[in-house]
Amino acid sequence: MPALHEQLIPVFEEVVNRNPGETEFHQAVREVFESLGPVVAKHPEYAQSSVIGRLCEPERQIIFRVPWVDDAGQVQLNRGFRVEFNSALGPYKGGLRFHPSVYLGIVKFLGFEQIFKNSLTGMPIGGGKGGSDFDPKGKSDAEVMRFCQSFMTELYRHIGEHTDVPAGDTGVGAREIGYLFGQYKRITNRYESGVLTGKGLTWGGSQVRTEATGYGTVFFVHEMLHAAGESIEGRRVVISGSGNVAIYAAEKVRELGGTVIAVSDSGGYVVEEGGIDLELVKDIKLSRRARIEKYAQERGNGARYVTGGSIWEVPCDVALPCATQNELTASDAATLIRNGCKVVAEGANMPSTPDAARAFQEAGLLFAPGKAANAGGVATSALEMQQNASRDSWNFAYTEERLRIIMRGIHDRCLTTADEYGSPGNYVAGANIGGFTRVADAMLAFGVV
Q: Which residues contact 115 (CB under 8 A, 6 or more apart)?
A: 55, 85, 86, 126, 127, 435, 439
Known catalytic membership, residue 199:
no
3-state SS class at 280: helix
Residues 371-430 that bind ligand NDP (CB under 6 A): 374, 377
C-beta of 342: minimal distance to ligand NDP in Å? 22
Q: Which of 257, 172, 261 is nearest to 209 (CA)?
A: 172
Distance of CA 124 to the CA centre of its chain: 18
C-beta of 274: minimal distance to ligand NDP in Å? 22
183 binds ligand NDP (CB under 6 A): no
Instruction: Output the DSSP codes for 193-257.
Output: GGG-SS--GGGT--TTHHHHHHHHHHHHHHHHHHHTT--STT-EEEEE--SHHHHHHHHHHHHTT
- Confirm if 116 and 77 have CB atoms less than 8 A apart: no
Give the one residue of 130, 171, 205, 369 binding ligand NDP; rule: CB under 6 A: 171
266 binds ligand NDP (CB under 6 A): yes
Which one is catalytic: 129, 185, 252, 371?
129
121 binds ligand NDP (CB under 6 A): no
Rounded Cα distance, 39 and 36, in Å: 5
Nearer CB in complex with ligand NDP: 246/345: 246
Give the one residue of 241, 258, 369, 430 binding ligand NDP; rule: CB under 6 A: 241
- Confirm if 351 and 326 have CB atoms less than 8 A apart: yes
Q: Do the bridges between strand 60-69 and strand 75-86 make them parallel or antiparallel, or are there none, so unpaired?
A: antiparallel
C-beta of 42: minimal distance to ligand NDP in Å? 30
The identity of residue 116, as a single letter, is F
211 binds ligand NDP (CB under 6 A): no
130 binds ligand NDP (CB under 6 A): no
Q: If you ran DSSP here, which 8-state letter would residue 4 be given?
A: P
Choices 188-196, 261-269, 383-391, 408-416 (CB under 6 A): range interacting with ligand NDP: 261-269
Give the one residue of 244, 259, 426, 437 binding ligand NDP; rule: CB under 6 A: 244
240 binds ligand NDP (CB under 6 A): yes
Rounded Cα distance, 425 and 54, in Å: 29
Q: Which of 26, 27, 34 is nearest to 8 (CA)?
A: 34
369 binds ligand NDP (CB under 6 A): no
Residues 316-335 that bind ligand NDP (CB under 6 A): 322-324, 327
C-beta of 349: minimal distance to ligand NDP in Å? 4
Give the one residue of 127, 243, 369, 434 binding ligand NDP; rule: CB under 6 A: 243
Count, residues near ligand NDP per rule CB under 6 A: 25
Give the one residue of 264, 310, 352, 399 binding ligand NDP; rule: CB under 6 A: 264
Torsion sign, CA atoms 378, 286, 219, 271 = positive
Summarize as ranges the residues that interact with ligand NDP (CB under 6 A). Answer: 168-171, 213, 240-246, 264-267, 322-324, 327, 347-349, 374, 377
Catalytic residue numbers, as ranges: 129
